[in-house]
Structure 1
Amino acid sequence: MSKIKFDEFQRKQLENNPNVSHVSEQNISYKPEFKEKAVQENLAGKGPMDIFLEHGFDLKMIGPEKPKQCLKRWRRSYEKFGNEGFYTERRGKGSTGRPSSKELTAEEKLKKAEARIAFLEMENGLLKKARRTREAGEEEQALTLSEKFQLIEETIRRFQLKRMVSYLCGIAGVKRKSYYAWLKAEDKRSKREQRDEEDYKLIKQIYDKRNKRDGGREIKMKLENDYGVIMNLKKIFRLTRKFNIQSIIRRKNPYRRLAKATQKHKTCPNVLNRKFVQEPGVVLLTDITYLYLENRTKVYLSCVKDGTTREILAYHLSTSLEMGIVYKTLDNLIMSLDGNVHPEALLHSDQGVHYTHPEYRKRVKELGFTQSMSRKGNCLDNAPIESFFGHFKDEVDATTCKTVAELRGKIEDYMEYYNSARYQWGLKKMTPEQFRGHLLAA
């Protein structure tokens, strides 16, 4: 049996070929006239692949080895039985039309008996599949209605069984009326398969563009903003399941523990109290994370994020954890704001040694910010900046950089992409810069 499996759309395409009589999930039944003609052409010197290509077969779909295998089998049958062997053969679908009144030969009776045995085995397999969910408790979705209908139809077509529809529907636990309705909807299913193929190509294009990191929501936003295509989120999830598209996701670290904040210096109260979304420029969140270069050199990244627009307003990369990293970040923040600090601006951080340092607190106050700190050992009080660092490390692989300068260039490119090109579901499907403009215009 072939390892290639045909879906419903491929089966329909193959059956449109006049040389094919029937296609199952893994097998193709060819018409005897085509077999006879193919053998004659092969005996005249034409290659198997050329024969199949000239008769309208897609070798990518059926497999490049299929022509050679078929011609080898057909020539063996021709040498043994001649042309008559193709017309008396009963592989797969069999003949159509009225039943013959001619008395069957012993060989024909044997073939009919073999077909009946095959049907009984198929019937037994259907019975097991249709009822196995009853033993599994609440899981009732092991075999869908469409799968049951497809199995019934394949059994009837393959063995040309008459007056067996009701019997098979009873075994599968489906209604005869529903089965016939499913048969009539074959054209609709074929068109849906074609649409799915077209939509899949567009989704795959977006999926591959960002190294398989975009999830369903981000794909939807890019379809709408970059391609002008409105697609239902449920459909995107259905197509990603159907075509086995799975984005690379962050996995939670079960061994990560909440870091205990130091109290070497005086701390501040949690003025923010997790009210991250206010006016643009009011809620500013800051923190430091670490990265590793290719040679395992440790470097540190300090960032300031606007909790409302989710923009990264300032950042600084350093090979040292000395106080200069936070001072330089403050300088970059003032440059980014053009000196226009909101009168109610809050600069929120954890209780790290940098942020409790007396000199740092003095500078923050002089710049016009009200300082706020997370509660001890509670990273959720500064969740947005923690979330950003998590996504940043997923999308920027620092271990591929040999030098700090190379990593700095990568970070600059990512920050520009994050602020101006990365659509976010929680920002009404806009980028941070677009959302800031939207809020200011409102």
Structure 2
Amino acid sequence: MDNLDTLGVSIANKSAVVGIYGLGYVGLPLALRFAEVGLKVLGFDIDARKVDMLNAGQSYIERLTVDLIQTARRQGFEATADFARTREVDALIICVPTPLDAHREPDLSFIVNTIDAALPHMRAGQLVSLESTTWPGTTDEVLAPRLRARGLVPGDNCALVFSPEREDPGNPHYGTKDIPKVIGGHTPRCLALGKALYEHAIHTMVPVSNTRAAEMTKLLENIHRSVNIGLVNEMKIVADKMGINIHEVIDAAATKPFGFVPYKPGPGLGGHCIPIDPFYLTWKAREYGINTRFIELAGEINHYMPQWVVGKIADALNERGKAVKGSRILVLGLAYKKNIDDTRESPAVEIMDLLQAKGAHIDYSDPHVPVFPRKRDYYFDLQSVTLTADSIASYDCVVLATDHDSFDYVLLQQHAQVTVDTRGRLSVADNTVAA
């Protein structure tokens, strides 16, 4: 029996140890799920604060409660920042960010740094799964050569797969176990081992022919949303100029029982996937001499939306004899979508930055984000403002950037001097401006 046969046996009898690299919004739910079904899980993260919190049974993600963390700890889950412990695991699942660099090109440094930190401690008979969204070819062209340089040959004495994360934070209907899992292997043997591992934790597996097909699948999913959101955002701008309520139009169009899927406009794109992933494909496509004009145009429209919102804020203030400079503006909702605490790539933050650059005094209110989080590109020394009649009335303008269900919209419309609504949540009123 060779190394991969041994790995297959340990996966089948659930004695395999699963290593999750990156304990964020993707990695931590997956770690908890593997622990829940009885596998020993070792979570790796370079953030010592996260490691300490998890090992103390605490949580830093709102929807993953303390009870869930403490249950996982009793089931054997442990977090560490020591990559030397890679030798203890049978499967390495990489769930790290894949941002864009300053030139809006793919930044694989988190993936590369993770595998390079783990490689000195790897051994034959391990499975590597990349879940981070990336350009087609990353698994074969970036990870496989590094493994081979260590003497680890995918399909021979180790396994290599790509299985894109599909987490949807805040979705009450689909959790980690419920979302079908796409997976592609470097070789058929790699695919079989990866599929066997994930089948313990995920109800439905969707195998594809290779890692590139799996990588492209995730990009198609996100580009589909980006393009359709770009379309409806452009329609919103046109409708606004024509004095038409775009939300009324969308609701009416959605009554057609076939051929139309409703997408909602907003202040821009947020989350780690949709604002970023299309550019991974456009970058890789250039290698093949292809210009992805349609995808890039949608990206341009969506990227422009925070500036359009700021223009609507300026117009609303101007109508009341005020300038942006010197105005007190409250942004409602820091998260990128409602009812969650995830602020990654949130357009609300960009709107705050643009307004501050124009001389406005900025505050925010978000019950899910009590303190402005650490971010690579932006920083505001702010805490969430509690909404009361007096606090709302004290601002020259309130901007509804994220429509959390917990906001008191009646109180808001009763006491705001003017509200700029980017989500179509508020009823028509003299002190409300659609954006």
- Structures share fold, TM-score greater than 0.5: no
Name the structure with the higher helix share: 1
TM-score by length of 1: 0.20
Instruction: Indicate the structure (1 or 2) with the bigger Cα radius of gyration.
Output: 1
TM-score by length of 2: 0.20
